Every structure is written in structure tokens, then in C-alpha cells.
Amino acid sequence: MHNNLDINVHHITRVEGHGNIVVNVKEGKIEKLQWQVPEAPRFFEAMVRGHSYQDIQTIVSRICGICSITHSLAATKAVEAALGIKVSEQADKLRILMHYSEQLQSHTLHVGYLAAPDFFGTPSVVPLVARAADAVKTIVKAHRIANGWSDLIAGRTTHPVTLIPGGLTRTPTEKQLRELQQTLKNAVPDLKKIAEVVLSVAGNVPKFERPTEYVSLKQTTPPTYTFYHGGITSNDNKGAALPIEKWHDVTNEYMVEQSTAKWAKWHRDAYAVGALARFNNNAELLSPMAKGAAKMFGLQKGCCNPYMNTVAQLVECFHIVETSIDLIDQLLTKGLKTEKVISTPKAGKGAGCVEAPRGILFHEYEFDKKGNCVAADICIPTNQNHANIQKDFEKLLPEILDQSEKDIRLKLEMLVRAYDPCISCSTHFLDVQFVR
Amino acid sequence: MTDQTHRKDVVVIGLGNPLLSDEGIGVHLIRKLSEHQDKFPSVEFIDAGTGGMNVLHLIANRKKAVIIDCVKMGKKPGTIKRFEPADVKTTKKMMHFSLHEADILRIIAISRQLGECPDQIVIFGIEPESLELGQNLSKTLSNGIDAYLDDICNELC
């Protein structure tokens, strides 16, 4: 047991967007324990005001470089809800396919580049390449497949260009979809290899449990492990799903002193979103291979170990690939058509919701009769997880206080990483000093 | 699907977020350069935005990669500087909390370790004046666009 402990994982150099872990223990008593997010407000909502309904998805795709397709899809769905625009079955399926590509991109990145170094005991992915070259190469290959998949359907790996209200500007050819399907079939052995590698170090996943509320989408018609359609549910909501328009009743956003980012709560004082939330609410609807992967890791519905979010992401990778292979079959069986999309502006207000890789995401817009945006409201998954991270800290620290300072720090950092918060994607990539 | 075996030898990648004024200079310049694609048939211009680790795949197995980004170099705002990875050391502190952090120099290091790094990597860094929220560049950077394009095009000739 530490009598005195002072941990301050502090980010001091970034212009915008960072998170701090602060721990103060004095004479064996925890005096301060905080997950702080002193992030500069981004005001993206103000930025879309005045813009045409046709431009919203392009602007908001820049909110995040990891979840750009997801933001574009949520925005497009909200615009379509506001203006009463219908989408064809083909466009709907292609969008789901596009969305899956980003889920696979993000999940492989998270498992391979962010979580794996912890499991292998290396400080980052750079030294991991030397330590586990084959594993890293397999991860890179899977990530590369996901990127090529996004290129095909979204027109670009990041910041999609094919999405418009009412449909898509481009339909892939039958040949392209068949090639994609074959690539996904070929990727299955690689996913199995990744799962085996992660399983070999899964003993390093901390044993920690804290029951909480898990919030995600739920689709009942037809019953689907959904990332795209459905209503809002939680394990506290007795299986019922709220319509998307009621999302404010779920998030109940509020301000706290320790963070400039908003926090959220529904039935309890905090809730979690993300892969583990989706798994806990919908696990019985996973594809057969995904169920097999969950079994391999002993991941069961009701799991309340937040560190297992990474494993849930890996399980979802199998579901995404297996389901997409089937989705392509459905598209090809029906036959691809070139679709012309026409939409007309009108006044209206609407909400759109999809599952981002790191949890449920809400967009809401209001338009005037010319179709120009007059109000916008966005609630990202990371903000919905902040309170839950804090509550996890509060239960975790007393349980590990007898461990070394290094181990305590690592476990707190790993916990944050398990949620993969979106706290800094808008900053530039280089700060340099010239050495020659 | 992107076919890695039939890629153009040279890639020019614009990075940044065009919603944060000068932070998006890389993206603004790529848009301009793409208008001149016919002059550079063996060059691929890519707006990579804030895609982070995706740069690893965009540069893989090319002969040359040119990266354009807003870079804090301690220079006068608007200054453009051409450098190669070995010319600099990163001063960026990484928390490794999130995938949303990225450091191009570290991505290049991974690319080398994987044995797929281009023979030559050139970075054009442009010192920002404003990183405020907004879709327009500062006047300083806006006035420098033509000169920046000249420098980059000379690199591609």
C-alpha cells in the first residue's frame, strides 16, 4: 500500500485536445483521482450553421480522422430525417458496407497499434515491430485491406466523398464487389492469426470489474447486431429501444469542473458506449465466427471488465468481415443499378445515429426552407464515456494501491486506452526541432 | 480495391484539418495541386486529412513520398521549409491514449521497420499563423500559396 503517491500523466504541449490522469495519495488516503479532459471546445456545431444540407456531411467528416465515415453517415441520416429524404435499399446496403470498412479500420488499429503494445509490454508499436514482427505485419495487412475497402465504397480512405443526402454518388461495379468479397474471404485466416496472438498475451488484460450501464443501438426488425439502424437501448432499459429522436433523454449531457468536455448519464451516474456495450446488448446476434472468437476469449454477455473492450472489438472484426461477405452476396444477387439521387430543400429538423467504432454517435440538425442549417447538435461517444472512465478509476485505484507506482500508472493508462478516446484528432502531426 | 502493385511511383500527401484555419494548409495545397494532375502523370495527389496511421499505407512501396503539413518549427508564420526526416527530431509528446494521436516521423520509422518505406521522403512544413476554428487560411498563408505550389512542383519535376 502506498502512503504517498503522486501520478500526473499530463499533456502539456498540444494545442488542442488532450487528457490527463491525476492521482494524489497522502498517508494512504486518496485525496485526488481524476480523469481530466481540458480539451479546447471545437464549436463544429457553429461551423455548419448557414451551410446547405448538401454540404453538412462533407464538413463534419473533418471532425475526426479515424471516424470520418461514421460522422458523415450520422450527419447524412440526420439530414435525410430532417428533409424526409428516402434512401434506396441498394444505397442503404452500400452505406452499411462502407460503415463496416471504417469499423474494421479502427478496430484493427486499436487492437494492433494501441492495445497490443500494452499486452506485449512495449511502450508503443514502434518497438513492437522488432519484438513481434509477424503479428504487426498481419495487423498492418488487415488494416490495409480495410483502407482499400473504404477507398472503394467511400471514394477515399478518410473523409468520404461519395455520400450525399438520398444515396451515393457512385456505385461500385460487380467486378469490384466480387474482388472485395474475395479479399474479405482471404482475410479470415489473418483475423484468426491476430486473435491467436492476442489470446497468447490475454493474460496481461487486467482483471477488473465494475458493473455499469451499457448503451448502444438495438435493431429488432430484422434482429441484427447493428452498427447502423435501430433505436437506443441499454442493459438498464429492460430490452426496450428508444427512437433516435429521443437521444437527449439518453445522454443528459452536463458539465463538470474537471473537464471542458461534456459528460453524460442515463439511468445511473455514468454509462459506457463502444464495442463492449454493443456486445453486452446484442451478443446473441453476432455472426458464427464472431461468436467463436468471443468463446475463445471467454467473453460473455454481461462482461463488465472495461479492458475487455479491446477483445470485443476483435470479436466485432470477425462479425464485420463475415456479415460483409453476405451483404455483398445480397447486393450481387439483386443486381447493381446506377441510381440517380435527387433531393429538394425544405425546412425541417432531424436526428441521425450510428455506432462509431468507439460507441454510439448522435447528430441533429435543423434547416430553414432553403435547406440551410440553422442549428446543429453533435454528441460523440468519447464524451459519453468520460464519466464512466472516472467511475472506473474510483473503483480501480483502491484495488491496485498495493502495486508499484509504475504498474498503477500503466493500469490507469491502459484503462483509458481501452476506451480509445477521441480527444486529439484535429491537431497537426508534427512538432519538430532541426538537428542538421 | 486499392491495388498496391499498380500504384504510381510518387505520392504527394496533404495532411491537416481544413476546419482549423492554417492547420489545413496541406489539404488546401493538395486541392490546388490536383488541378494540375495532367502535368504530373506519375504522381498521385492525396488529401489524407487527419487520417493518422493511414499514411503508413499511402507511402508503402513507393519510390518517393512528399508530405505537406502545417509544422511547428519555431519559424516566422508562413515560412515553408523543405526537409527530410533525418533533418529533424520530433518534439511532439505522445500520450498513447488514443489512435487520434499521430506523428508522421514515427509512422515513417514503422514503415522503415516493415521494409516498405520509400527511398526518398520529403516534407514541406509550413509554419502556421492561426490554428483557430475556421475554414479559411490566415492572410499570411493565403498570400503564400503560389510560392508554396512553386516549391512543391519544383520538387516533382
Inter-chain CB proximity B104 and A144 less than 8 Å: no
**Contacts of A59 by beta carbon, 8 Å cutoff, 6+ apart:** A44, A47, A48, A51, B19
Q: Provide the mean pLDDT of chain B.
A: 89
pLDDT of A426 strictly over 90: no
What letter would DSSP give residue A40? P
- Tens digit of pLDDT for each residue in A357-385? 999 999 999 999 999 999 999 999 988 99
pLDDT of B4 strictly over 90: no
Q: Which residue has the higher pLDDT, A23 or A304?
A: A304
Q: Out of A112-121, A164-173, A274-283, A372-381, which region has the weakest mean confidence (pLDDT)?
A: A112-121
pLDDT of A427 strictly over 50: no
Inter-chain CB proximity A159 and B105 less than 8 Å: no
Identify the burial level of A199 via C-beta atoms within 10 angstroms of its C-beta, where 0-12 means exposed, 13-18 middle and 19 or more buried.
middle
Helix (H) / strand (E) containing A363: strand A359-367
Of A16, A66, A436, nearest to B52 by CB-CB distance is: A66
The C-alpha angle A322, A327, A331, rounded to 5 degrees, equals: 155
CA distance B147 to A18: 34
Inter-chain CB proximity A16 and B83 less than 8 Å: no
CA distance A314 to A111: 7
pLDDT at A21: 87
Q: What is the DSSP string of B14-35?
A: EES-TTBGGGGHHHHHHHHHHT
Confidence band, pLDDT 50/70/90 cuts, at residue A425: very low
Inter-chain CB proximity B101 and A114 less than 8 Å: no
Contact by Cβ (8 Å): A119, A201: yes
Residues above pLDDT 70, as percent of chain A: 92
Query: For B72-93, what is the mean pLDDT?
Result: 87
pLDDT of A337 strictly over 60: yes
pLDDT of A49 strictly over 90: yes
Confidence band, pLDDT 50/70/90 cuts, at residue A18: low
Tell me if residue A263 falls in helix, strand or coil.
strand
Helix axes of A89-109 and A133-154: crossing angle, nearest 10 degrees: 160
Of B18, B73, B95, nearest to A62 by CB-CB distance is: B18
Query: For B14-32, what is the mean pLDDT?
Result: 93
pLDDT of A16 strictly over 60: no
Q: Which chain B residues are Cβ-neighbours of A179 within 8 angstroms?
A: 1
Query: For A310-319, what is the mean pLDDT?
Result: 97
The C-alpha angle A241, A244, A245, rounded to 5 degrees, equals: 125
pLDDT at B114: 92
Query: For A253-272, what is the mean pLDDT?
Result: 91
CA distance B118 to A4: 50
Identify the burial level of A404 via C-beta atoms within 10 angstroms of its C-beta, where 0-12 means exposed, 13-18 middle and 19 or more buried.
exposed
Q: Which residue has the higher pLDDT, B131 or A176?
A: A176
pLDDT at B30: 97
Confidence band, pLDDT 50/70/90 cuts, at residue B97: low
Q: Which residue has the higher pLDDT, B63 or A113?
A: B63
Query: For B40-69, what is the mean pLDDT?
Result: 93
Count of beta carbons in the 10 Å neighbourhood of residue A250: 24
Distance from CA of B71 to the nearest CA of A (A): 5
pLDDT at A433: 66
Distance from CA of A175 to the nearest CA of B (A): 10
Q: What is the DSSP string of A291-360?
A: HHHHHHHT--TT---GGGHHHHHHHHHHHHHHHHHHHHHHHHHH-------------EEEEEEEEETTEE
Q: Which chain A residues are Cβ-neighbours of B31 within 8 angstroms?
A: none
What residue ranges in A80-236 does DSSP mark as E strands? Answer: 163-164, 167-168, 213-220, 223-224, 231-234
pLDDT of B115 strictly over 80: yes
A268 φ/ψ angles, rounded to the nearest 5 degrees: -115, -165
pLDDT of A226 strictly over 50: yes
Q: A184: closest CA among A72, A323, A295? A: A323
Query: For A199-219, what is the mean pLDDT?
Result: 96
State whether the Cα torsion A417-A420-A423-A424 is positive or negative: positive
Q: Where are the domains of chain A?
A: 5-40+388-419, 44-386
Of B19, B58, B89, nearest to A44 by CB-CB distance is: B19
Confidence band, pLDDT 50/70/90 cuts, at residue A424: low
Q: Which of B2, B25, B29, B50 to mutate to test the interface with A (most CBs of A within 10 A)?
A: B50
Q: Which residue has the higher pLDDT, A410 or A91?
A: A91
- Residue type (1 letter), A184: L
- How many domains are contained in chain B? 1
Confidence band, pLDDT 50/70/90 cuts, at residue A17: very low
Residues above pLDDT 90, as percent of chain B: 66
pLDDT of A38 strictly over 80: no
Confidence band, pLDDT 50/70/90 cuts, at residue A14: very low
CA distance A240 to A237: 6
pLDDT at A42: 63
Distance from CA of B83 to the nearest CA of A (A): 9
Of A68, A421, A431, nearest to B97 by CB-CB distance is: A421
Q: What is the DSSP string of A186-212?
A: HHHHHHHHHHHHHHHTGGGS-------
Torsion (CA) A175, A177, A182, A183 in degrees, nearest 10: 120
CA distance A106 to A128: 19
Q: Provide the mean pLDDT of chain A.
A: 91
- Tens digit of pLDDT for each residue in B120-151? 999 999 999 998 888 999 999 999 999 999 99
Contact by Cβ (8 Å): A354, A99: yes
pLDDT of B96 strictly over 60: no
Confidence band, pLDDT 50/70/90 cuts, at residue A300: very high
pLDDT of A64 strictly over 60: yes
pLDDT of B152 strictly over 90: yes
Q: A228: closest CA among A99, A90, A317, A357? A: A99
Q: A387: closest CA among A39, A63, A37, A114? A: A37
CA distance A43 to A26: 39
pLDDT of A15 strictly over 60: no
Contact by Cβ (8 Å): A274, A283: no
We report the CATH number of the domain holding residue B143 as: 3.40.50.1450
- Whole domain around residue B32: which residue ranges? 4-156
pLDDT of B34 strictly over 90: yes
Of A12, A15, A148, nearest to B1 by CB-CB distance is: A148
- Residue type (1 letter), A267: H
- Tens digit of pLDDT for each residue in A90-144? 999 999 999 999 999 999 988 988 888 888 888 878 788 888 889 999 999 999 9
Residues above pLDDT 70, as percent of chain B: 89
Identify the burial level of B31 via C-beta atoms within 10 angstroms of its C-beta, where 0-12 means exposed, 13-18 middle and 19 or more buried.
middle
CA distance B142 to B30: 14
pLDDT at A435: 66
Helix axes of B25-34 and B139-156: crossing angle, nearest 10 degrees: 50
Confidence band, pLDDT 50/70/90 cuts, at residue B1: low
Inter-chain CB proximity B2 and A147 less than 8 Å: yes
What class has domain A44-386? Answer: mainly alpha
- Tens digit of pLDDT for each residue in A383-396? 899 999 999 999 99
User: Closest residue of B to A105, CA-based?
Assistant: B54
CA distance A75 to A93: 17
ipTM of predicted complex: 0.88
Torsion (CA) A289, A293, A298, A302 in degrees, nearest 10: -70
Q: A314: closest CA among A233, A418, A412? A: A418
Q: What is the DSSP string of B67-126?
A: EEEEEE-SS-TT-EEEE-GGGEEE-PPP--S-TT---HHHHHHHHHHTT---SEEEEEEE
